[in-house]
Every structure is written in C-alpha cells, then in structure tokens.
Amino acid sequence: MKAWVLYGIGDLQFRERPVSKIGKGEALVKVKAAGICGSDIARVFDTGAHRHPLIIGHEFSGTVEKVGSSADADWQNRRVGVFPLIPCGKCVPCQKKQYEMCRNYSYLGSRRDGGFAEYVCVPAENLIELPENVSFEAAAMLEPMAVAVHAMRRGTEEFTLSRDAAVAVCGLGTIGILLTEFLIDAGYRNLYVVGNKEDQRKRAAFVGVLSGHYCNSKVSDAGKWLQECTGGPDVFFECTGKNEVLQWGIDSVRPAGKVVLVGNPGADMTLGKDIYWKILRNQIVVTGTWNSSFTGEDTDDWHYVMKQMKAGSIVPEKLITHRFPLKRLWEGLEIMHDKAEDYCKIMVILE
C-alpha cells in the first residue's frame, strides 16, 4: 500500500509499505478520507512522533475490509469513523470509562500507524458506523468535532448553562470554529467570538455568528470589547494556547465565571500577580478539556456529533477549504506550516 511515513523531524516520505497484519480484535480499514490536524504539522516539522518510522494521521474514515479474530464480523464492509485514542482499559480513568484521560494510552498516527495511508489496522472497539447521509469527508472530521463538543460540555456543565448566558470563543482555528458552530446549534445565541483574520470573520458569519458579535484582535482590544458587549462573559473558551488570550479570559469573565482551556500551548503559560488575584477574588473556575469521550454509548461526544450530522444540523464539509489526493499530502502540510494561504480544514481524499 501507499503511505506517508515519518522517519524523523522534517523527514516525511511517500513510500510503498506492506499492509499491516490484522491483530486480535482489530479491523482493517480502507481509508477514504483523512484530515490534516495542526498536531500533524508539529510532528512533521518540529517535534517528531513518539516513535519512528511511523505513518501519521489520526482524523480519518473509511470502509472495513476485513476483521480479525474475536472482532465482530458484522463490521465487514461497513462505512466507519475511527476514534484514534486506544485506552489501556486498566487505569483508574479507564475503569470509570473516562478513556480520554487514560494514563497508558496508545494513539493512531502518533504512537502507532495512522490514517495517511491506503489501509490502517484499528481496534474494532474504536469504530463508529456512519449513517448513509454522512459522507466520508464529514466522518474524517468526527475527531475534531468531538473535541469541540467535549470542550462545550466542559464549559456548559452538560448544558445546564442558561441559553441566554454570554459565551465567548477566542481563537477560530478548526476547533474554535467547530466549537462556535456547536454552541450555536445548541441554542447559545449570546455568543461573541474573537479571531485575527478576515477569512475567520467570514467563516464565523457563515456558521451563524450574528453581525457585531465578531472582534478582530489585531484591530481592537478583545478583552475590552468583550467587557463592553457583555459586561463580561459567563464562559470564556480559550482556543489559541496563547498567554495573552488566557489573560483576556481571566480579566474579562464575570465573577464566578468559567474559563475553559482548549488550545494547546505553543510556549510556557504564565500569569501576572494581578491576573492571579482576579481568579481568587472573583472565584473564577479555570478548567481544562482534553480530547473527547468515546464509550460506545449514545451519551458520548462522538455519538452526539453523529446525531447532529445525521439530523443535518451540522454540516462539517462546508469548512473544508482544500482537497488533495494522498500523493499530494505534502502540499497541504506546507500550506498549514507556512500559512501560505487561508485555510480551515485541509482534507486528503482517497479512491
């Protein structure tokens, strides 16, 4: 099979590789679509993966070609999405079905071979079947959509937050814009978003952000704007991993409000004494969110996303800005790394 293999930092090669043998409880998936994640950019250009050589890519969908021993034979020929985190099943979080916090997990595309290939072996337990009206491209975005839903649930406490509450989303990359779309879909209309590019403003309007509810942080003081618009948001989603945005959140959120940390940090995050005092005196809740819940039950994040897509209220394909065949993956990686063009989701399409 053809696959993109990472041999080290900056050394990604399009190679012929043998199709992996199907292990016990596994399924062989023929990949149909795979999305490029920002973490893929870091692995290729900056940090490398946990081991080399490795086929990268963790956002993908496809059809089940074969199943291994002890796997459910009914998966054969089904259209599927794939949860990329492989939990150990033994640690304390796993015993509570909090698999996203597993202490000893493996991961497709970063710790074992992933989806930038024609075929990939995955645990059958990590599969989710696709309704007929959900495309492979949409299903390849299940992972970032579920991450966005997980963050939303962390911030709104399983939807007990009033739909009239003031909510801010700062950072409109893929996760930020998906989070915005899911918040709107869930009924939060008093929503204010902060980006730093004209195409982000257009994309925010495209998913339903009301006129006047977008701020360009390169033009205006975002923290001051949030205070003027809302008197301080009830919930602030930090989706950039930048120190100044975290400080905007703590500085602007209402007393007893919540700051949800979504973005991966690009450098050390520090807080000045004055900002730290605001956490104490305003009794602000600062919470993290990580990955997404996948338990196989209707209540998990992946099934929530699937229900919304099946109903047609969420159509992720509209956020795809670029499509490449597998052999041209490198072009998509360069666009994201060099920021040579405006983009949201770059998708690899396989035959």
Q: Please, what is the angle between helix 243-252 and helix 222-230, to 10°?
A: 20
pLDDT tens by residue, the chain, 351 residues: 999 999 999 999 999 999 999 999 999 999 999 999 999 999 999 999 999 999 999 999 999 999 999 999 999 999 999 999 999 999 999 999 999 999 999 999 999 999 999 999 999 999 999 999 999 999 999 999 999 999 999 999 866 788 899 999 999 999 999 999 999 999 998 999 999 999 999 999 999 999 999 999 999 999 899 999 999 999 999 999 999 999 999 999 999 999 999 999 989 999 999 999 999 999 999 999 999 999 999 999 999 999 999 999 999 999 999 999 999 999 999 999 999 899 999 999 997
**Predicted local confidence at residue 158, as pLDDT:** 63
**Predicted local confidence at residue 159, as pLDDT:** 65
**Predicted local confidence at residue 13, as pLDDT:** 98
CB distance 39 to 49 below 8 Å:
no
According to DSSP, residue 117 is labeled B
Which residue in 210, 207, 209, 239 sits closest to 316, CA to CA? 207
**Predicted local confidence at residue 97, as pLDDT:** 97
Residues in a beta bridge with 238: 170, 261
Alpha carbon distance 256, 251 (integer Å): 12
CB distance 183 to 169 below 8 Å:
yes
Which domains does the chain possess? 2-140+315-349 (3.90.180.10), 146-288 (3.40.50.720)
Residues in a beta bridge with 120: 29
